[in-house]
Amino acid sequence: MENTFGKHLIEEAINNENLSDKKIKKYLSSKSLNEIDLINKINNELYNDNSQQISIEKIQRICRKEDTNNSRKIWNEKRSRLLKNLSNPEISQIASKERKINLVLDNARIHHAKIVEKACEILNINLIFLQPYCPDLNPIEDVWRKIKSKIYKSIYETLNELIEIFKEEYYKIVDLTSFYENWVNEYLGTNIW
């Protein structure tokens, strides 16, 4: 993001103190059953008509649900708060005026997570998913191939020299508009330039 105020707002949303585990645990404990209600709920489960195994499983679920250290509960609350923080209208307004970012992804499950999709939508990021099981379509693979061919032909004596060759070749390739133009035209079938 070019806009410094927008960057500041995003950093604030991500680093907000309401995302701390301590704040979330405090909030979750305020929403939990009090001790007497929890005991009554467990007793009801102990003395119902279910088999002993089913009752034990239900009691375990009750205890996990009421546990303020339950990592799943903490993460769900954290995710909800993060999206709420990012949903600031000022962030959306500034991000919509920025140049859209196109991000190429494989089909890993994490890339399809709702929080990722919603955050990208808010931040004006377009997710381009490659076809499943086709890593050869990933444009970065072409970058690595070209860098490797250059490194194989290069003579270097130190690790720092190798790193410099890598950096030089990487930035030479990534700065080529034609490289991306060709990839977009070939794999997406559209001319966005």
Distance, in Å, from the CA atom of 191 to the CA atom of 152, rounded to the nearest integer, reads 34
pLDDT value, residue 192: 47
pLDDT tens per residue across span 109-139:
888 888 888 999 999 999 888 888 777 777 7
Indicate whether this model's pTM tops 0.85. no
Domain extent listing, the chain: 4-85, 134-193
What separation, in Å, do the N-terminal and C-terminal C-alpha atoms of the chain show?
21
3-state secondary structure of 138: coil
Confidence of residue 77 (pLDDT cuts 50, 70, 90): very high
Q: 89 pLDDT band (50/70/90 cuts)?
A: very high
Whole-angstrom distance, CA of residue 117 vs CA of residue 103? 12
